[in-house]
Amino acid sequence: MFFNHLSVGRKLWALVLGLTLALLVLMGALLSHLLGLSDEAARTVQFSENRISMAVRWRGMVALDAHRAVIQMSTSDTPLAERMNKESSTSTQAITDVQNKVKELVVTDEGKAQLERIGAARSQALDIIKQAAALRSKGDTAAAASLIQDKLQPAVDAYIAELDKFVVLQEQRRDETKQQAQDKRQSALWLGLAIGAVVVLGALALSAWFVRSLTEPLQRAVSLADAIEGGDLTQDVHDERGDELGQLLRALSAMGAKLRTVVGEVRSGVESVSAAAGEIATGNHDLSARTEQTAANLEETAASMEELTATVTQSADTARQANQLAANAAQAAQRGGEVVGQVVSSMEHITESSRKISDIIGVIDGIAFQTNILALNAAVEAARAGEQGRGFAVVAGEVRSLAQRSAEAAKEIKGLITASVQNVEQGSQQVGQAGQSMGEIVESVRRVSDLIGEITASTTEQRDGIGQVNQAVANLDQMTQQNAALVEEASAAAASMSEQAQRLAQVVSVFNVGGYASSNAGRSAPRTSPAPRPAPRPVAAKPAGKPLPKPAAKAVPAPAAARIAASPKPAAPPASAEGDWESF
């Protein structure tokens, strides 16, 4: 409809101008009709007044003329009679002129008939006057006077009576004309009121239709806004109106669609972040378990080193008796020292890897914090909507970027964990070699116990060196325990990030986006299971010659143990660790 494509301002102007024009036309038509009726009534009344005035004048001239005739016929004064005759002739001509004018003004049949009766009465009176004048001209003044007295006055009275009837008839005609004009004005007034009522009713109907054309789209807009406020983003409005209300409906519909897209993207990103956080927590838990295993192996290594120290101390008493065997024992001890050095180097690699893991966990912690902030910004943007709704796309892009960074950090953690495992295995092998070398030393020292005295000092120095190695291993064990505690803290932080991502998902879930969420459900990363823990690598077997006392294993520090106990233990799935990290 063309009217729906006009702006609201033009609609209002069209309504006001239309009503104003209708009222002006009505008032102009009514005024013109009333003026026409007034002019017609005025002309008719004026004609009646003219006829009445002429008839009254006519009546006066007739009475005066009759009086002159009486004077003329009854006087003996000849000059007076001649003057009366002359005035009567002039008056008769004037009466004739008036009569002709009245005939021109009279248009009704009744008026014309009355004029004919007046003319007949006049002719009768004039005949009597002419007869009296003829008698007077013959000198019979008495007969003329008698004729005037006997017949002229009744004739004049009849003449004047007809004129009075004419005047009464014209007055009635005038009054009737005035009444008809009054009736016409009244009828025109009622007609104007009726037309005005029709115009007012039409204006009310037009106003009602116009108000409905405004309120209906506004109600639709309010319904759409209420649906968005309630979290229902599936509503859509199709309207072809070209005015501001149509633009408002289309803008609200576009805003709902944009908000539906943004919320769907945010929800998909939150699911991806939640899955990634779960994978990180699982990986950290697995790394913690492997670190614990490494700490246990280091404790066993420390115990072995203590046993080696005791053996070297016992060998110092017998080192004096066998220089050759002592040399062999020295070579074996040298080999053992080299192996121990390699163990120290491997443990340093483990320490460096642990430091890198700590840095990466810090990066993951920062990413989790930024993800939380961006998720909060997304919630704020979702509440504000409006033209600022475009910012949700930027927030969703940032969430995806942070998720990618989290994946890269997880891959780097995987590489470091793999390297740490290899180093631990290599350290275990080297410790085994050191155990074998130390066994050879013990065997040699046992055979040359009587000859080892000369190398007592050297053995003492070796004992001191082994003590330092033992202290280094103890320090390495302590650092490994600290690394385990840090890994547990990182696991707890990853679990917290996963919980916050789930809370954000619950907040976003209040929005109903229809089929959009199901279409994007497959985008989130699959949740993989943690790798099974490797079995502890056994310590190299010791020679069966002489059993040595085994010192008590060092206990794990209380804070680290508490954090390990607080973290959730995932179930061990059948999948391998390598496959899990590759899928992540």
Q: Which backbone phi and psi does 479 adopt, to 5 degrees?
A: -65, -35
- How many CA atoms does the CB half-sphere of 12 hold within 13 Å? 5
Strand-pair category, 320-321 with 451-452: antiparallel
3-state secondary structure 424-456: HHHHHHHHHHHHHHHHHHHHHHHHCCCEEHHHH
Containing 567, the helix (H) or strand (E) segment is: none
Q: What is the per-residue pLDDT across 464-495, written as a single tens digit (0 to 9) for each?
A: 887 787 788 788 878 888 887 887 788 788 77
Type of residue found at 187:
S
Domain boundary assignment for the chain:
2-225, 252-505+545-583
Q: Integer distance in angstroms from the first to the last C-alpha of the chain?
A: 59
Q: How far is residue 265 from each of residues 83, 112, 234, 378, 386, measured CA to CA in Å?
A: 129, 104, 15, 10, 18
Mean of the per-residue pLDDT values of the chain: 70
Distance CA 541, CA 539 (A): 6
Only one residue has tokens 């092998």, namely 429
Q: What is the per-residue pLDDT across 551-568, written as a single tens digit (0 to 9) for each?
A: 444 444 444 333 434 444
The answer on pLDDT for 438 being more than 60 is yes
Q: What is the per-residue pLDDT across 127-154, written as a single tens digit (0 to 9) for each?
A: 877 787 777 777 776 777 777 777 777 8
Distance CA 487, CA 415 (A): 15
Q: What is the per-residue pLDDT across 495-532, written as a single tens digit (0 to 9) for each?
A: 787 788 777 777 767 666 665 544 554 444 444 444 45
CATH of domain 2-225: 1.20.120.30
Distance CA 61, CA 90 (A): 10
Only one residue has tokens 């005739």, namely 69
Distance CA 44, CA 180 (A): 11
Q: Which two tokens stand for residue 64?
A: 């005066």
Are 5 and 244 spatial neighbours (Cβ–Cβ below 8 Å)? no
